[in-house]
Amino acid sequence: MDRAAEEPEQQALFGWADTEPGQTPQQPFRDSPQARRMLDVREVYAEPAALDSPRGRQIMARLPDARVTEVPSHWNIPELHGNDGNIGRWVRIKTETLVLGVKHTLATRPNGRSADWIAPGPSNGCAMACAYCYVPRRKGFANPITLFTNIEAIVAHVRRHVRAQGPKAEPNQCDPEAWVYDIGENGDCSVDALVCDNTADLIAAFRSLPTAKASFATKFVNPDLLALDPRGRTRVRFSVMPADDARLLDIRTSPVDERIAAAADFLDAGYEVHFNLSPVVLRPGWQRDWADLLTRLDDVLPARVKEQAAAEVIMLTHNQALHEVNLGWHPRAEDVLWQPEAQETKRSQNGALNVRYSLEIKQQSLARIRQLIATHAPWLRVRYAF
């Protein structure tokens, strides 16, 4: 893409009009009208200890007009999670409600697919509303952002874990040299950064951990992250899917073209930039549309992005309880997400009924996606396809 032609559009979108190339915006993006459309917090449910913490106080100082309700636990708030009347307000609650809590269980789990390790996340829940998102599966009837305010403890835990591993002995598909820690398993770090510094604190911590790297997937372009100076120790994974799927399923996210256009800026700001091709949703025309998307990546991305890029490919999984919630606020999405003739169910350890494409269909589809990548974006190394 012609970067000069792209810039006015970027400037209009992000409010960079007064900014010289290489400089960060004058005004934080989080104060912009675009950011407020994503998150306009009017109601906060908070554990008292979270309110009383430095991070809690920082967040509340930015929300002077929000109504605060103290709750004994961030995890099960009857007015939110147990109220089936909230389904019709699914998106509004994500925009206007925030939960503050203290994360008590700090554990890092092995992963081996997207990352070597899953770090204890700084949040749970999201202001975006992807119809297939797995995060609300255990949340009942609402899934706004819960921010964990004991970020110092989370960072200290991660530092200890990294140091205990020592250097990575052998390369693997997660990374040839560094231990990769996913820091955003249950939320979107780019959106969290609109309301607090948890993402910034984790990026800063990994800056000084030469044997490790943070990693998070995102569907939101937050230019404030460009100022965080990750020095190559944070991998951003922009999730992409065909535009028709995104319009139907990726509710409230940045348009896919904006995510692609942001890749070079993030690379230049010191991030490693990968892509999540996910979820792959099977519906009439999916192969043509994925081919178009891969062609677009090939056309738009500059060589420096391609040289370091890699991708994950993840087929859609779904869940029966979420299917029923979605029917209450976005039934059209279920026309493509819920396809019992192509999907099989599996009961998870916690008793939930999860749904995925049957093995044969999944294997054939993954093979086809790999072919499409080889044809249209041969520079894109597939780290794993699942």
Among 47, 175, 182, 188, interactor with ligand SF4 by CB under 6 A: 188
Q: Could you tell me the smallest distance in angstroms from the CB atom of residue 188 to ligand SF4?
A: 4
- Name every residue whose Cβ is closer than 8 Å to that of residue 35 and which is 6 or more positions away in sequence: 29, 194, 222
Q: Report the 10 Å Cβ neighbour count for 287.
A: 14
Q: Which is nearer to ligand SF4, 60 or 193 (CB)?
A: 193
CA–CA separation, 279 vs 242, rounded Å? Answer: 10
- Residue 277 has which token pair? 């091709």
Phi and psi based region of residue 229 (left: phi greater than 0; alpha: psi -120 to 50; beta: remaining): left
Q: Which is nearer to ligand SF4, 130 or 147 (CB)?
A: 130
CA–CA separation, 360 vs 367, rounded Å? Answer: 11
Q: Could you tell me the smallest distance in angstroms from the CB atom of residue 337 to ligand SF4?
A: 13
Q: Which is nearer to ligand SF4, 56 or 187 (CB)?
A: 187
CA–CA separation, 272 vs 179, rounded Å? Answer: 14
Q: Which is nearer to ligand SF4, 53 or 97 (CB)?
A: 97
What DSSP state is assigned to residue 202? H
Q: Report the 10 Å Cβ neighbour count for 182.
A: 24
Q: How many residues bind ligand SF4 (CB under 6 A)?
A: 9
Mask for 356-385, x = binds ligand SF4 (CB under 6 A): ------------------------------
Q: Could you tell me the smallest distance in angstroms from the CB atom of residue 324 to ligand SF4?
A: 17
Q: Which is nearer to ligand SF4, 126 or 269 (CB)?
A: 126
Pairing of strands 67-70, 129-130: unpaired
- Name every residue whose Cβ is closer than 8 Å to that of residue 208 and which is 6 or more positions away in sequence: none
Interface of this chain with ligand SF4, residues 117 to 156, rule: CB under 6 A: 126, 128-130, 133, 135
Q: Which is nearer to ligand SF4, 92 or 159 (CB)?
A: 92
Q: Could you tell me the smallest distance in angstroms from the CB atom of residue 256 to ligand SF4?
A: 13
Q: Does 187 help bind ligand SF4 (rule: CB under 6 A)? A: yes
Q: In what order do the strands lie in the sheet with 272-280?
A: 109-110, 117-118, 179-182, 212-218, 234-240, 272-280, 310-315, 381-385
Q: Does 282 help bind ligand SF4 (rule: CB under 6 A)? A: no
Q: Are 158 and 203 in contact (CB under 8 A)?
A: no
Q: Which is nearer to ligand SF4, 53 or 239 (CB)?
A: 239
What DSSP state is assigned to residue 75? S
Q: Could you tell me the smallest distance in angstroms from the CB atom of residue 132 to ligand SF4?
A: 7
Burial of 46 (0-12, 13-18, 19+ CB in 10 A): buried
Q: Report the 10 Å Cβ neighbour count for 82.
A: 12
Q: Which is nearer to ligand SF4, 101 or 162 (CB)?
A: 101
Interface of this chain with ligand SF4, residues 191 to 230, rule: CB under 6 A: 219
Q: Could you tell me the smallest distance in angstroms from the CB atom of residue 75 to ligand SF4?
A: 17
Q: Does 115 help bind ligand SF4 (rule: CB under 6 A)? A: no
- Residue 336 has which token pair? 């493509």
Q: Which is nearer to ligand SF4, 168 or 219 (CB)?
A: 219
Q: Could you tell me the smallest distance in angstroms from the CB atom of residue 133 to ligand SF4?
A: 3
CA–CA separation, 296 vs 306, rounded Å? Answer: 13
Q: Report the 10 Å Cβ neighbour count for 66.
A: 17
Q: Could you tell me the smallest distance in angstroms from the CB atom of residue 201 to ligand SF4?
A: 19
Interface of this chain with ligand SF4, residues 52 to 81, rule: CB under 6 A: none
Residues at the site binding ligand SF4, with contacts judged by CB under 6 A: 126, 128-130, 133, 135, 187-188, 219
